Amino acid sequence: MKLVLSPTGDTPIYAQLKAQIQAAIFSGELQEGEALPSLRAVAKALRISVLTVTRAYTELALLQEQRVRQAEERLQEGIRLAKQAGLDPAGIRQLLDILLQEEGAEV
């Protein structure tokens, strides 16, 4: 992953770093579960403070936690709607398995 920062731009360094890491994740350059480079390694390579890298990584982690909470809320709503439609827990699991298979996820 190549990171290029602009110290003279209007966007803070930590925000630039965060945005570039997000872009690498969304593009598939960074795979799910792949560890990010260490704080010190990134700071040294980019000649920036470890605190700057820490802030970017912390904000990325908070964003991930927020997305997990949103997914949980949407799944709970989906379960509620499925129950209203008359599906029992086995039917809900079967539907979820089908949807996961359609998405290419391992069940």
**Model's pTM, two decimal places?**
0.73
- Give me the pLDDT at residue 90, please: 95
Helix-, strand-, coil-residue percentages of the chain, each rounded to 5: 65, 0, 35
Q: Given a cut of 90, is residue 33 above it in pLDDT?
A: no
Q: Given a cut of 70, is residue 15 above it in pLDDT?
A: yes
Q: Given a cut of 70, is residue 107 above it in pLDDT?
A: no
Average pLDDT in the chain: 92
Residue count (the chain): 107
What residues contact 55, with CB distance under 8 A and at least 6 apart?
14
**Which ranges of 4-49 would DSSP assign to H, the alpha helix?**
13-27, 39-46
Tell me the C-alpha distance between 44 and 38, whole Å.
10
Q: What is the pLDDT of residues 47-76, one digit of tens each?
A: 999 999 999 999 999 998 999 999 999 999
